[in-house]
Chains A and B, each alone.
Chain A
Amino acid sequence: MNEIITSLAEAPTTPPSEEPILEAKGISKAFGHVQALDDVDFELYSKEVVALLGDNGAGKSTLVKILSGIYRKDSGQIYVDGEPVEIHGPKDAERVAGISTVYQDLALVDVRDVGSNIFLNMEPTRLGIFINFKKLYSDAKKVIDVLRIDMPSVRVNVGELSGGQRQGVAISRALARGRRIFILDEPTAALGVEQQHKVNDLILNLKAEGKTILVISHNLEHVFAVADRLVVLRRGRRVGTRLKTETTKEEIVGLITAAIKGDVPD
């Protein structure tokens, strides 16, 4: 725990002044009569950790799914490095914006080992046919070591790993693919306290690698341990943005539950 606090003290707490690497302006999305997102702006600066907060139905998932190409927005515009882009699917999100989404269910193949999961569908080959397992395992170990994930071996089946280790494998896979923006959907859900701390370390290590991270979470403990900036959504609108150093859990809870009036009228 002390470790985390020290690294927090060192972490930059103000957003850099340069332009955002990913920006969404005026995003709206309706499902039938339900306005899931109503004219929401959102931005990510390079090398920061942003937490996206809100109650169930606040629009967090919708916003993230639009950014990662799973949903199409009704209106609004997304910019990558200041250039307007269209994201038509998850592949576009990866290719155009370098966004990789690590899902709650992690999408790992339990019956395959760690190395094979990290390099799934991008296995290094010899003669273009045979998988070069030696390179695959040594590269996998390098990624695991960069993120300082506690892992017995890259040859154990993913099904045998703990929740935190599985999260690590999922993030390693995105890292191995050279992505720069990582969207983590409820990374601490269903994890014990110790495993949650490991995920915190993992996120901070990822940030130290120069990556940008967007975390969706209900877990304020976790959010305050890793995030630089907190964005609160309520009923499809962005009601507050706070630097972690300038806010409290009470204020954030108030913004989420509407006990505190938002920065924009409801």
Chain B
Amino acid sequence: MELSFNERDQASRSKILASYARRILGRQETGIILLSIALTIFFYFRNPAMLSPITVVALLRTMAFPALIAMGMVQLMIAGEIDLSTGAVMSLSAVFAAKLIRDAGFSIPLAVVCSLGAAALVGLANAAITVKVGVPSVITTIGTMFIVRGISYSFTNGLPIYPLPPEVGIIGSWRPLGISFTFFLALGVMVIVQILLSWTRWGSALFATGGNKIAAEVCGINTDRVKTISFVVTSLLAGMAGLLTMSQLPLTPGDPIIGKNLELHVLVGVIIGGVSFYGGRGSAVGAFFGVLFIQLVKSGLVIGRFDSFLQTPVLGVLLVLAAVTDVLRHRKDEG
């Protein structure tokens, strides 16, 4: 039953078209965007203030920090690892920079470099313990989460570090088009990461590392290096998110409480956005909208005048639902 080459090409062309259609409609990105729209409409009918400019601007500003971190997390999770220390790293980088500026007389750029260096070190530690020693990254990063958050608190005796020079707030208070700079930064990083994932060998190495580590290594990919870079990038982005939070003077100076529970927002958002914790699957666009979706839920519950205690359990329910979806999808793929 050999088909001629022409027939085979045509057969495959219609198959390719069908598979494109299936890909667009079946993509988790499409689903999460539609869900976000539906949720916005729902909360809008509860309270039209949901779509007021003030709400929208605040919502985009707040979601920008977890979204920025999610752009590292998506790469790390595609490579098959996870990082739960990101919220703590945010806190450390903010507190460390604030301390250097206020007490050690460092210039702001130097303090920024030093505190990003500290964030990168946490990433390296996560990578060393996970990749070299072989501790599952969930355990490693819960450990570093407690350690790093603890360092942050003992550094400051639990109190915010202020006053800081007003120059610290230059970037944080910059509002191009009325929206926070951090949002545009997160958006820009999303575009870059999506390009990396879809069109570069780095992306290909990430998917192979998380999809089948042995296959990646047989083809000469250094999976340890791929994972280490992903850990460090995730930590660096968390460090940047921490510094940008601090930069929103006078709201939040070098406060050790920065980034509290944010790692969960990132995790739930990324998984809802279609990134698999089995590795080998996910997109930057999906992760970005997943994080936006979680922010919509959080803000919407407040604006829609729901019980404020609902926020945490709803987040938990969404995490479990997203995880169940992920497991079912994985099982289907395994055949």
Closest to A129 in B: B200
A131 adjacent to B212 (CB under 8 Å): no
Q: Is A103 an interface residue (CB 8 A)?
A: yes
| CB neighbours of B309 from chain A (8 A) | none
The minimal Cβ–Cβ distance linking A118 to chain B, given in whole angstroms, is 10
Residue from the list B200, B201, B281, B335 in contact with A121, Cβ < 8 A:
B201
Surface stretch bound by B, among A36-44, A76-84, A153-161, A204-212: A153-161
| CB neighbours of A173 from chain B (8 A) | 219
- For B, the interface residue count at a CB cutoff of 8 angstroms equals 26
Residue from the list B11, B199, B216 in contact with A120, Cβ < 8 A:
B216
Closest to B210 in A: A111
Residue from the list A108, A111, A131, A145 in contact with B281, Cβ < 8 A:
A111
B12 adjacent to A121 (CB under 8 Å): no
A109 adjacent to B212 (CB under 8 Å): yes
B200 adjacent to A159 (CB under 8 Å): no
The minimal Cβ–Cβ distance linking A147 to chain B, given in whole angstroms, is 14
B333 adjacent to A110 (CB under 8 Å): yes
Q: Which residues in window 213-227 of B have CB below 8 A to A?
A: 214-216, 218-221
A-B contact count (CB 8 A): 75
| CB neighbours of A103 from chain B (8 A) | 218
Q: Is B160 an interface residue (CB 8 A)?
A: no
The minimal Cβ–Cβ distance linking B205 to chain A, given in whole angstroms, is 7
Q: Is B280 an interface residue (CB 8 A)?
A: yes
Residue from the list B12, B201, B214 in contact with A123, Cβ < 8 A:
B201
A157–B303 Cα gap in the complex (Å)? 44
Question: Given the known A-B contacts A111-B281, A121-B204, A130-B200, are A152 and B11 also in contact in the complex, defined by CB atoms under 8 Å?
Answer: yes
A131 adjacent to B15 (CB under 8 Å): no
Q: Is A266 an interface residue (CB 8 A)?
A: no
| CB neighbours of B15 from chain A (8 A) | 152-153, 156
B214 adjacent to A153 (CB under 8 Å): no
Q: Is the interface of B mostly helix, strand, loop or mixed?
A: helix
A60–B201 Cα gap in the complex (Å)? 36
| Residue interface bits A106-132, CB-to-B below 8 A is 1, else 0 | 011111100011001111010001110
A125 adjacent to B215 (CB under 8 Å): no
Q: Is A91 an interface residue (CB 8 A)?
A: yes
Q: Is the interface of A mostly helix, strand, loop or mixed?
A: loop
| Residue interface bits A18-62, CB-to-B below 8 A is 1, else 0 | 000000000000000000000000000000000000000000000
A107 adjacent to B211 (CB under 8 Å): no
A108 adjacent to B333 (CB under 8 Å): no
| CB neighbours of B205 from chain A (8 A) | 121
A107 adjacent to B220 (CB under 8 Å): no
Closest to B276 in A: A111
| CB neighbours of B280 from chain A (8 A) | 109-112
Residue from the list B19, B200, B211, B214 in contact with A112, Cβ < 8 A:
B211
B16 adjacent to A121 (CB under 8 Å): no
A110–B210 Cα gap in the complex (Å)? 11
| CB neighbours of B216 from chain A (8 A) | 109, 120-121
The minimal Cβ–Cβ distance linking A139 to chain B, given in whole angstroms, is 15
Q: Is A15 an interface residue (CB 8 A)?
A: no
A171–B286 Cα gap in the complex (Å)? 34
The minimal Cβ–Cβ distance linking B155 to chain A, given in whole angstroms, is 41
Q: Which residues in window 79-109 of A have CB below 8 A to B?
A: 90-91, 103, 105, 107-109
| Residue interface bits A247-265, CB-to-B below 8 A is 1, else 0 | 0000000000000000000
A110 adjacent to B212 (CB under 8 Å): yes
Residue from the list A122, A133, A152 in contact with B12, Cβ < 8 A:
A152
Q: CB within 8 Å of B: which residues of A? A: 90-91, 103, 105, 107-112, 116-117, 120-123, 125, 129-131, 133, 145, 152-153, 155-156, 159, 173
- Given A111-B280, A152-B15: 9 more A-B contacts, CB < 8 Å: A107-B212, A108-B212, A112-B207, A120-B221, A121-B220, A125-B201, A131-B201, A152-B12, A155-B16
